[in-house]
Amino acid sequence: MFFVLFLGTVILGQVVPQNFEVMEGLLTEINQCKQIREKFSELKTEFSDIEIRGIHKDMRLKILTSVNSRLRAELRRVIQTNDLLKDKLREMSLKLGETRQPTSEIRVQNTTGEVGEGGKEISCTVTNHNNWTYFNIERNGQTVVHVAPDGRAQTRFNPKYLTITPTIRENLAEIAISFASLRCTDEGLYSCVIEGNVQSQSIAVVIKTPSTGKPSMSKIGDVIGYKPTDFKCEGQPSYPDGKLVFQVKLQNETVFRNFEFPDPTVVDKDRNCVRKQTISVTYVFTEVWDEAKIRCKYKHSEDYDETDLFVLSPTLCGQNTVDNRGIRHPQKSTHYVTCNEATPTVHQCPDNTCFDEIFQTCADICLV
């Protein structure tokens, strides 16, 4: 009984004006049920008092039988009133259901494809919505398809590249767009919008394009150990989520392995379904990196560019070194180093000749 009373209170809070008559009858039944409950409680108290009092056995039996009959009668009234209350609640629920507005369910289907690819489709389906005056598909906030209740469709699309199929039936409206050939301009965030309904879900149309050309990487060459070195890599990885990655091969290694330099600066410029990416790195190389190779490549492609790396000891230009006097390069005989106030500068001999440290010149014959 308490559950029914609580449920009745909740539903009453939702009653609309045309249900006042039902509401008044329901309140009457609820009040009557409360009175019966109070009477029932009084009889229970009286029944308990009789058992406690010292009354003659025969007289007590008669009184208990009378009270028991009255309790049973009150219990039947409670059950009957409770059934009436349930009927009133069902009646009110039906009337409330008649006043509710129809609901709409919008279903969408996303699609992804490459430029020029056909057979891709997006669609919007609205159900349980009878009285609507327009059903639109918007792309990035702009209406691209407009459908009237009679099924007539207007669109800003070129019919050469797609087919629009509106379907209008009882309690259902659907718009399907089939792309004959995806173009970059077809990419965007599409929304299904129906008048009078705040529901709107988004359809993502994503255009993919492969990587273009080869990456271009800075030629690092010679660096001074334990000093920051700047370098970068540029390229056009696949759109929209392609990326450039680095690989390294140290002097004692035989194969390249993936390597992530800490805190790189990545700049993506996406335009017309083409991604241009630049990765800039500042890194401190140690002797471990001497004669290493660094490669920059597209993540899902074999196209790459690479550079050699030679790490010069920061003590190469010591106190006994004469300024601007050439020192043979530790790893490359075709190169030499000059020092200016303990700062080394690497030079290359012309035409692949070798540096002669004794004569301070690039000679035709390389002496080991």
The 3 state secondary structure assigned to the chain is CHHHHHHHHHHHCCCCHHHHHHHHHHHHHHHHHHHHHHHHHHHHHHHHHHHHCCCCHHHHHHHHHHHHHHHHHHHHHHHHHHHHHHHHHHHHHHHHHHHCCCCCEEEECCEEEECCCCCEEEEEEEECCCCCCCEEEEECCEEEEEECCCCCEEECCCCCCEEEEEEEECCEEEEEEEECCCCHHHCEEEEEEECCECCCCEEEEEEEECCEEEEEECCCEEEECCCEEEEEEEEECCECCCCEEEEEECCCCCCCEEECCCCCEEEEEEECCEEEEEEEEEEECCHHHCCEEEEEEECCCCCEEEEEEEEECCCCCCCCCCCCCCEECCCCCCEEEEEECCEEEEEECHHHCEEECCCCEEECCCCC
Are 192 and 258 in the same domain? no
Domain end marker among 99, 117, 146: 99
Residues 296 and 252 placed together within one structural domain of the fold: yes
Is there a single domain that holds both residue 13 and residue 39? yes
Of 208, 226, 243, the one marking the end of a domain is: 208
Q: What is the pLDDT of residues 263-321, one digit of tens each?
A: 999 999 999 899 999 999 999 999 899 999 999 999 989 899 999 999 988 888 875 56
Same domain, 338 and 295: no
Same domain flag for 228 and 302:
yes
- Res 310: pLDDT: 92
Beta-carbon neighbour count of residue 155 at 10 Å?
A: 16
| Residue spans of the chain under pLDDT 50 | 1-19, 97-105, 198
State how many domains the chain has: 4
Quick count: other Cβ atoms within 10 Å of Cβ 110? 11
pLDDT at position 155 is 87
Judgement on whether residues 231 and 177 belong to the same structural domain of the protein: no
Provide the domain limits for residue 135.
105-208
Final residue of a domain: which of 74, 99, 124?
99
How many other C-beta atoms can be found within 10 angstroms of the C-beta atom of residue 246?
22
Asked if 309 contacts 265 with a C-beta cutoff of 8 angstroms, the reply is no
Together in a domain, 215 and 275: yes
Confidence (pLDDT) at 321: 66
31 and 92 fall within a common domain: yes
Structure pTM?
0.59
Do 80 and 133 lie in one domain? The reply is: no
Strand order in the sheet with 228-236: 212-217, 228-236, 274-284, 265-271
172-179 sheet: strands from edge to edge: 105-108, 120-127, 172-179, 162-169
CA–CA gap between residue 175 and residue 178 (Å, rounded): 10
Based on the fold, state whether residues 14 and 71 are members of the same structural domain. yes
Q: Give me 313's structure tokens.
A: 């000891």
CATH number at residue 226: 2.60.40.10
pLDDT for 253 equals 93
Q: Report the C-alpha dihedral over residues 66, 67, 73, 77, rounded to 10 degrees.
A: 160
